[in-house]
Amino acid sequence: MRVEFLRFSSGDAEALADFLTEEEWPYHAGTQDRETVRRRAAEGLYDNEETRTFWVLVDGERAGLVRLLDLGDDTPMFDLRIREAWRGRGIGTKAVSWLTGYLFTELPGILRIEGTTRQDNRAMRAIFRKSGYAKEAHYREAWPGLDGARHDSIGYAILRRDWLSGTVTPPDWQDEPMAPQVMYATQPRPTGQDSSPA
């Protein structure tokens, strides 16, 4: 299986519209229609100073899409989509490995790369871990799902120095002083009186 990455061009707008609208993307917020995709491509949304988009080609077939965002920042982010027919074959892991190396090599000023996913997207979370990304954030009920439910959002990142050394530096999750636990749910709530400090 040969995996390659081909930069998006303005002539790819129709193929992009097919890609984004003919697949189910359960872990991506919002829906897109063909006209919106075409318009955004014409406006340069997929390839400009801040954004670069690449097709993930597997044996010449468009199996996925990598979108690199916030490229003017020292902490870019990315969006990765793999077509359902190609999921579970290690293509996502290859794509994250490629984009990590690409960003750190092409943009020497960046210090870290971030990505987020839904808590229940176990495949993407495994890809982050395999690719040397450390879990840095857990945002409760921050991701609206297409089904109307709210899901937790999980943030991962890789540092340039970790990428260079082949290590993973976890965040210091124990950096707050120990304090008595307050059970807010059991505290009485003020009823109709001014609770502002005197």
Domain count, the chain: 1
Any domain includes 136: yes
Give me the mean pLDDT over the 87-102 stretch.
97
Any domain includes 135: yes
Query: What CA–CA distance (Å, rounded) separates 81 from 28?
Result: 9
Any domain includes 197: no
Give me the CATH number covering residue 163.
3.40.630.30
Q: Where are the beta strands (DSSP E) in the chain?
A: 3-7, 52-58, 61-69, 77-82, 112-118, 134-144, 150-159
pLDDT in tens, 156-175: 999 999 999 999 999 988 88
58 pLDDT higher than 90? yes
Any domain includes 192: no
* Structure-token pair, residue 74: 């020292």
Structural domain that includes position 106: 3-186
- Global pTM reads 0.85
- 116 vs 147, more confident: 116
CA–CA–CA angle 47, 117, 101 (5° rounding): 50
Any domain includes 198: no
* Structure-token pair, residue 164: 């260079």
